[in-house]
Every structure is written in C-alpha cells, then in structure tokens.
Amino acid sequence: MLRRFLRQRTSGQGMVEFSLVAPLFFLMLFGVMEGGWLLFHNHQVSNAAREGARFAVVNGEMSGTELTNDMIKDHIQDRVSLSNWDSLEVNLVEIDENMEPESRIRVDVDYTHLTLVGFIFESAAINLSSSSQMRVHY
C-alpha cells in the first residue's frame, strides 16, 4: 500500500525535471551554434577584404583595365563563402588618389549577417565590416 502511494506521487517527476532543464539546454545549444555562425562570417568578411585588396593591387589601371567595385565583388564571390551575397558591399578607396606603383589602396567590405534564429527576434541582423590596405605592385 505504501509503495503504491509513493509510486503514484513520483510519476511526473521526469517531465517536471525536463521542463526545467530543456529551455536552458536549448538556449545554450542555439547560442553555441549562433556564435559559431557569427565567427565564421566575421572571418569570411575579413578574408573578403584581404582578397579584394590583393585583387586591386595586382589588377589596377596599369594592367589595362579600369578597376570597379563590381569587379572586386565578383572576384571576392569566387573565393569567399558567404550565405547572403546580396548584402555584401565593396568599396575601393584610393588613399594616394592614383593607382600608380607604390601608391596605397584600401578595400572596405560591409556585410549584413543574418542570424540562424532570426525568426524568433524581429531585428536579427548584425552588421560586419572589415578593411584591408595594400600597396600597388604592378
């Protein structure tokens, strides 16, 4: 009789414990996934700026082509992995006002990172930016 009484009182214990632990577990799980996704995109944006600057210093005006932001963006898309290409903005800045050898250029890259759990939060976009400066070598 006593055993049956105690067994009936503990029948929902596992459900209560799960309901207390599950939100914390899923919060940590999605937090780690989101943090890794953000770090991956941050690394790719800095790599995109470096690749764009490298392309600009090698393929400038002395190589016979007029260098544009779209050319740099096309080059970046071939070498960098991003999930939202429409939000990538590339800007070429000529620091020394010309593209002569030994002059400096800078490539600025701006990217809007969309979160994995964006459906939960209204404004789930994070702006990432990077710039890379190099000397013209051609």
Find, among 134, 132, 136, the residue nearest to 102 by Cα: 136
Q: Residues 24-63: pLDDT tens digits?
A: 999 999 889 999 999 999 999 999 999 999 998 888 766 6
Q: Residue 123: its pLDDT value, please?
A: 66
pLDDT at 109 (0 to 100): 96
Query: Could you tell me the residue ranges of all domains in the chain?
Result: 33-135
Contacts of residue 109, defined as CB under 8 A and 6 or more positions apart, other chains included, come to 45, 48, 49, 52, 76, 88, 89, 90, 91, 129, 130, 131
Indicate the pLDDT class of residue 134, thresholds 50, 70 and 90. very high
Beta bridge partners of 128: 111
Please enumerate in sequence order all residues whose Cβ is within 8 A of that of 95, keeping only pairs 6 or more positions apart, or say none. Answer: 103, 104, 105, 106, 133
Closest CA to 52 of 32, 80, 27: 80
Evaluate if residue 65 carries a pLDDT over 90. no
77 closest CA partner among 67, 86, 65? 86
Higher pLDDT, 108 or 67: 108
